Structure 1
Amino acid sequence: MEHMETRLAKLARKGDQRAFAEIVELYKDKIYYLAYRMLNNRHEAEDIVQETFLRVYKNLERYDEHQKFSTWIYRIGTNLCIDRLRKRKAVYSLDAEVNDQEGSDGYAMIPGDERTPESEFLLSETQTTIRDAIDSLPAKYKSVMILRYLQDLSLQEISDVLDMPVTTIKTRVHRGRDFLRKKLENKF
């Protein structure tokens, strides 16, 4: 996979539009999911996807082929999300985006053996509580927790994406988990 992405990046760098379209196809959903989890807003996530690919296209010549392509594109998307979070007003309502949430995130439809309206309601309520807890994390922990647990990146990959030492990532994962644990202890 990674070898193919590097080859596509080389072709796109030379002006091959089909190669760039393949890169977009490979990563558009992953970047959207990352942005949606970080920003909790469908429209902003769509903007981030477009901006990410615009930056990738403009900066293809800067891509280091010795680096994983996925790390490079995740770094661009994550940094755009962090910038967007910093620009938001410091005080905002956690449920301001309730109408924008359509239950279409990755774990909204977890299959079960015996689904009942009551179990569906409890599952939905639990997901909302967890999502609210993640959304309330400070940005420096939120990005690390999303990349670690929702994007399933290793500590080294997160270190590469965020351009921070692995020890800093470990500390932020630990503190992020503590923050979530304290938030969720009161809820369950």
Structure 2
Amino acid sequence: MDNHLARLTLKGDQRAFAELVSLYQDKLFHMSYRMLGNRQEAEDVVQDTFLRVYKNLHRFDISLKFSTWIYRIATNVCIDRLRRRRPTYSLDAESSDYEGLDGYSMMPSDETTPESELILTDTQRIIREAIQSLPPKYKTIMALRYMNELSLQEISEIVEMPVTTIKTRVHRGREMLRKKLEHRL
């Protein structure tokens, strides 16, 4: 269906492009937010991604999956933003306001108490911060794998790397997270 909408957009159908936007804007926002940890930047990435898609749609190979192509563009935009950032570490830095948490990030429980919710929210914050502190090459892979639930093959296509490299980075990223979280949780 995505490829059909892409073909219609190439023929000038603005409604088809609007449908592509509505299909992907939330998914791209969540992926970008998890990679960048900043709501405004994530919104900018989504907008920039759709601008690039619209301008370069003529380059899209219809024989490939549209979702892989658009995720690759969004991931590259995020990586570019991460590369431009200068590392800043401050104890006074504003922590996330817990927006962006969804059902996936919440552990199911039969009994929810205010205390268990506070512990869970704090744990999620610590894990998000640990992922944010990973080097970009690991952060990207970990976000795509565990937060967006993409397969190793899909990640390989998005970041244009062999699956074996993706497996290695997932393994090393998990090890880095384990070490970072060992003393915090």
**TM-score of the pair, normalised by structure 2:** 0.94
**Structure 1 gap ranges (5+):** none
Provide runs of 4+ in structure 1 moved above 4 Å. Answer: 107-111
Structure 1's 160 and 108: CA in aligned 2 closer, same or farther, altered over 3 A?
Answer: closer
Structure 1's 129 and 109: CA in aligned 2 closer, same or farther, altered over 3 A?
Answer: same
* Counterpart mapping for 1:129-168 below 5 A: 129-168=126-165
Q: How many residues align?
A: 184
1:13 matches 2:19: no
In structure 2, what residue type is equivalent to 1:14?
K
* RMSD, aligned α-carbons: 1.5
SS in structure 1 at match of 2:126: helix
SS in structure 2 at match of 1:96: coil
* Counterpart mapping for 1:65-104 below 5 A: 65-93=62-90, 96-98=93-95, 100-104=96-100
1:169 matches 2:173: no
In structure 1, what residue type is equivalent to 2:66?
F
Deviation at 1:56, TM superposition (A): 0.4
**Structure 2 gap ranges (5+):** none
In structure 1, what residue type is equivalent to 2:86?
K
**TM-score of the pair, normalised by structure 1:** 0.92
CA distance in structure 2 between the aligned counterparts of 1:187 and 1:152, rounded to whole angstroms: 25
CA distance in structure 2 between the aligned counterparts of 1:108 and 1:93, rounded to whole angstroms: 26
**Which residue in 2 is equivalent to 1:61?**
58
Structure 1's 90 and 72: CA in aligned 2 closer, same or farther, altered over 3 A?
Answer: same
